[in-house]
Amino acid sequence: MDIRFWDAVERHKTWSLGIALVLTICWVLLWTKGVNTAASYSFPQMLYLVLWVCTTWFYLMAILGYARRYLNFSNRFLAYASQASLPFYILHVTVLVTVGFFAIQWNIPAWAKYLSIISISFASIVLIYELIIRRVSVIRVLFGMRSKEIIARPAVAKSPESLSYIKTNKI
């Protein structure tokens, strides 16, 4: 979490993307030449693996650099989505499997089943979150959220005496 690392990642984002693209071309060329990607430990296979790892690393650095530059903001939707992410994660498998169990039996094309499962599951999870989880304090806690009472309670102001105690005792 050193700020110098993140500054360097953001500063070198364009170079990282350029290097990743060049390495991708090299990697694809080796792949099209028929390099054995199984564990043969030959020089071409090792070169292929090293290029693959380095390409992944440079893409990751480019994505992090551009994300830090262009996605470093907040708004009401992000605050809402951040709070809803854990309940959404907990519910998604159960709801997807339940909806999928019924939808798979429908006599419609596969792409329509897929879209139906995705849209019905998403709408169901949002409704469960909005109508039940978000409104009931006990259930909020069970889904890893703060209870409504803690959110509504005003913050306690720190007295100067308590701050000097923390400074002197290095807490």
**165 confidence band (pLDDT: 50, 70, 90):** very low
pLDDT of residue 151: 57
pLDDT 10s digits, 120-131: 999 999 999 999
pLDDT 10s digits, 46-90: 888 888 899 999 999 999 999 999 988 899 999 999 999 999 999
Burial, 65: exposed, middle or buried (Cβ in 10 Å; 0-12, 13-18, 19+)?
Answer: buried
Ramachandran class of 38: left when φ > 0, alpha when ψ lies in -120 to 50, beta otherwise:
beta
pTM: predicted TM-score of the whole model, two decimal places: 0.58
pLDDT score of 160 more than 60: no
